Amino acid sequence: MLLQGALLLLLALPSHGEDNMQDPPLPKGACAGWMAGIPGHPGHNGTPGRDGRDGTPGEKGEKGDPGLVGPKGDTGETGITGIEGPRGFPGTPGRKGEPGESAYVYRSAFSVGLERQVTVPNVPIRFTKIFYNQQNHYDGTTGKFLCNIPGLYYFSYHITVYLKDVKVSLYKNDKALLFTHDQFQDKNVDQASGSVLLYLEKGDQVWLQVYEGENHNGVYADNVNDSTFTGFLLYHNIVE
């Protein structure tokens, strides 16, 4: 076996005359008499490789331009009331107000009664029994109340009726404003009354008077029966 291997080695060695004519070496693993073949077709694409690892964060960029203003949001809920703040400095005084009403109390009132049974129709009834007339605005000699303080007044009268029918009216400045009629019943004493609110100017006069003659003049008074006339100021009207 050794001899046979040595012979094969000698045959494989090239001669000196063939050194310059030596063929290029065969590719590794190629057999004797190898020839280059036709290029093959391109192979199919391989499957995508796996994602690489995340890179390191880059440097912070420059601040961008401001964006557009967004729409106005909904109104939020009312917050909790805060604690009371410190007291401020006094403000400047306001303008002077309008003059108010005077503290003076205006008074005008009277209450009178009939002392005599005798009255005359169609003229003021003279009530001469004075219950109250401190301001002397009622004149017992004429039977008239004279307004000294303009304002709203209340007047009332209470008449005892006896022996005849009664027709009594309340006058203001020669004009009858209120009428009262009572028909007398035999052997009896009747009562007639009336009341009214009147606005009076200074100088106005108010009184009671029997109208339609003597047959309706049953106004009566004695020591147990009264006929009265009363009036007083409710509120005055300020005159500048």
Nearest 10 degrees: Cα torsion 222, 223, 227, 232: 150
Q: What is the mean pLDDT of the chain?
A: 83
The runs of H, that is alpha helices, within the chain are: 2-12
pLDDT at 213: 77
pLDDT digits (tens, 9 = 90+) for 14-48: 554 444 445 555 555 555 555 667 887 787 888 88
Strand 109-113 to strand 144-146: parallel, antiparallel, or no bridges (unpaired)?
Answer: unpaired
pLDDT at 14: 55
Q: Is residue 221 part of a domain?
A: yes
Q: Is residue 142 part of a domain?
A: yes
pLDDT at 179 over 90: yes
CA distance 114 to 131: 11
Quickly state the pLDDT bin for 88 (edges 50, 70, 90).
Answer: confident
Share of the chain above pLDDT 90, in %: 34
Give the 3-state secondary structure of residue 230.
strand
Name the range with the highest mean pLDDT among 180-184, 218-222, 231-235.
Answer: 231-235
Q: What range does the domain containing 180 cover?
A: 107-234
Q: Which of 11-25, 194-208, 218-232 has the lowest mean pLDDT?
A: 11-25
Query: Quick one: which of 137, 128, 181, 133 has its CA closest to 159?
Result: 181
pLDDT at 237: 85
Q: Is residue 52 part of a domain?
A: no
pLDDT at 196 over 60: yes
pLDDT at 136: 96
- Half-sphere exposure of residue 235: CA atoms within 13 angstroms, side-chain side: 4
Q: Which of 103-112, 164-173, 186-195 has the lowest mean pLDDT?
A: 186-195
CATH number at residue 184: 2.60.120.40
pLDDT at 207 over 90: yes
Domain tally, the chain: 1
Q: Is residue 14 part of a domain?
A: no
Name the range with the highest mean pLDDT among 45-49, 204-208, 225-229.
Answer: 204-208
pLDDT at 96 over 80: yes
pLDDT at 101 over 90: no
Q: Is residue 12 part of a domain?
A: no
Q: Is residue 93 part of a domain?
A: no
Q: Is residue 61 part of a domain?
A: no
CA distance 80 to 94: 34
pTM above threshold 0.85: no
For residue 236, CA distances in Å to 25, 173, 195, 199 come to 147, 20, 19, 10
Q: Is residue 29 part of a domain?
A: no
